[in-house]
Amino acid sequence: MSDTSPRIDRPLPRVTLREGAAHALRQTVLTGRLAPGAPVVEAALARSLGISRAPLREAIRELLDEGLLVQHRAWGGVTVAPLDATVARELYTLRTALEVFAFEHVWDRRDDAFRSALSKSHAALTQAIDMRDDEASIAAEFALHNVVYEAAGHGLLLQSWSAIRGRLALYWAAHHRAHGRPGPRRDAHDDYIRHAIGPDLDAMREELHDHMQRGLSTVLRFIENRKEQAS
C-alpha cells in the first residue's frame, strides 16, 4: 500500500477564526496599534476583523491569560496591559529563575545540535543588529533564548516561558517604538553564548543574573523616561 500522495511534514493547521483573531489581536497589541492602556471594544474590533463577537471574545480571553490584556472586573471592559515597573521587575526576576532552571536541565545533555543551534541563532541576531532591523533583532533574541528552553525538553517550563515571553514582547515592542535603536547591543550576548557552551554551570548562572539585570535596567530606564514624559 504505497502512498502516491506527496509527503506532508505536518497536517496544515485547520485554523479557526478564534485562532486567527488571537494572532491578529496579538500582533495589533505588539505593534502598538493598540497602545498600552487603550480600551479594547469587542463590537468595533469584531467588525474590523470581519467576524462575529463570539470567536473574538474567546481570543480576548486567550490574550487575557497571556497578560497582554487586562480586565478589572466583569462588565468593566478590557484594556491593553499598561507598562509597569513592578511587573517589569517581576518579569526579569522570574525569567532569570526559569532560565537558570532550563540550563540546569539541559547542561549535561548539551550536544552538537544544541551548540550549533545556539551559535546559529546568535549569528542571526548579530546580523539583524548590523542591518539595523530592529524588529528582526527582537525576534532573533527571542529565538536565541528559545533554543535553550526548547533544548531543556520540559513541556511545563516551555509553557511558563511562553506566558512570560508574551509580556516581555510587550515591553520590548514599546521600547522599540519609542527609540530608534531598541534592539540589544551587538555584543550583549557574546558572554552568554560563551558560557552556555562552556564547561562551568556556575559561571553560566552568574552570567544569567548579569544578563537579566542589564536587560531589566534598560527597560526600567525606558519606563521611567516614559512616565515623566507623560506628566
Partner DNA sequence: GCTCTGTCGATTGTCGACAGTAGAACTTTG
Partner DNA sequence: CAAAGTTCTACTGTCGACAATCGACAGAGC
Q: Using CB under 7 A as the criterion, which residues of the chain lie in contact with DNA when the complex forms?
A: 1, 14, 16-18, 39-44, 51-55, 57-58, 74-78
Q: In angstroms, what is the minimal distance from the CB of 139 to a copy of itself?
A: 23
**Which residues are paired to 69 by β-bridges?**
80
Indicate the residue type of 50. Answer: G
Q: 164 Cβ partners below 8 Å, 6+ apart?
A: 91, 94, 95, 98
Phi, psi of 51 (to 5 degrees): -130, 175
Instruction: Compute the distance between CA of residue 41 and CA of residue 82 in angstroms, rounded to an integer.
Output: 16
8 lies in the site for a copy of itself, by CB under 8 A = no
Q: In angstroms, what is the minimal distance from the CB of 20 to a copy of itself?
A: 11
Instruction: Compute the distance between CA of residue 75 and CA of residue 99 in angstroms, rounded to an integer.
Output: 38
62 lies in the site for a copy of itself, by CB under 8 A = yes
Q: In angstroms, what is the minimal distance from the CB of 16 to DNA?
A: 4
What does the block give as the cell for 176? 522599540
**40 interacts with, out of DNA, a copy of itself, none, CB within 5 to 8 A per kind:** DNA
65 lies in the site for a copy of itself, by CB under 8 A = yes
**Which residues are paired to 71 by β-bridges?**
78
94 lies in the site for a copy of itself, by CB under 8 A = yes
**Greatest Cα pair distance in the chain:** 72
Q: In angstroms, what is the minimal distance from the CB of 134 to DNA?
A: 32
**78 interacts with, out of a copy of itself, DNA, none, CB within 5 to 8 A per kind:** DNA
- Strand pairing category for 78-80 and 69-71: antiparallel
Residues contributing to the site for a copy of itself (CB under 8 A): 11, 14-16, 19, 54, 57-58, 61-62, 65, 67, 73-75, 86-87, 90-91, 93-94, 97-98, 100-101, 105, 154-157, 159-160, 163-164
